[in-house]
Amino acid sequence: MTAQEVFSITRAQLSIDLNCSSDDFDRDGFVFCEAKENVGRRPFPRGERHFEMLTMGRAIIVSATADILPYVREQLEGRSRDEAFVMPFVSGHGLYYLPDAVFAPPVADGVELSLVERADIPSLYELEGFRNAIMYDIQHPRPDVLVTLAKIGGVIVGMAGASADCARMWQIGVDVLPTYRRGGLAAALTGMLAEEILRRGKVPYYGTSTANIPSQRVAHRAGFRPAWMCAYRGLFGGVFTGPTG
């Protein structure tokens, strides 16, 4: 899969999620869209009131439900991108990565890496400490579909998991037990998983909070590059948007 194919698939999916067009990402300034439950959107939970703001580097796409969209437009029009993302009602900043030249960095002697297919993943739910990597829910709407494991002395000390967030994009999460961190295991697990996802014709992507520097370093070391940034929650009338609002 070429970098252009990865980028095109991603923009098409984000367009479904935000209820905009792929061409909107190439515009200057803000694009305001009414949030819709479009077929094929990534099934992240939403409440009755929804707000999301996203940029891939040029346009700022704002998607909100009809009840708050006029207010959001009034507050944001004429602002710069940097001003928009620090407005008082904007919350939940995330940074997302796409593969550039992904690879699995070498690991130390004594570390065994392996791949776990979907049918065998539920057996991993008996282990605690890996909730960034796997969902721990066989009925989850974004199911676990592939996992890479790191074992030392036969004991699982780290894993990276892929969730099928939509038809063509699988999101990677990774966890390494505290004692075994800072040894390159997270990047090795992430890179190995990304390579396998690409071989299966899917787009691997990696997300983290903008404040999580260690997680961002893992993405870079595994060969990912920043692709988009979003704010996925808003504060309106003293109540946050989303399922907890």
In the chain (245 residues long), the average pLDDT of successive 10-residue segments reads 94 98 96 97 93 97 97 96 96 96 91 97 96 96 97 97 98 97 95 97 97 96 97 90 60
Task: Pull the structure tokens for residue 114.
Answer: 């392996």
| pLDDT the model gives residue 245 | 39
Separation of alpha carbons 11 and 186, rounded Å: 27
| Whole-structure pTM value | 0.94
- The full set of domain ranges for the chain reads 3-97+229-240, 102-222
Residue 8 has, within 13 A of its CA and on its CB side, a CA count of: 5
| pLDDT the model gives residue 243 | 56
Show Cβ contacts of residue 190 under 8 Å, excluding neighbours closer than 6 positions.
160, 172, 174, 206, 218, 219, 222, 224
Stretch (H or E) spanning 96: strand 90-99
Separation of alpha carbons 198 and 64, rounded Å: 32
Separation of alpha carbons 215 and 34, rounded Å: 32
CATH superfamily ID and name for 102-222: Gcn5-related N-acetyltransferase (GNAT) (3.40.630.30)
* Selection from 14, 189, 17 nearest residue 112 by Cα: 189
| pLDDT the model gives residue 241 | 87
| pLDDT the model gives residue 64 | 97
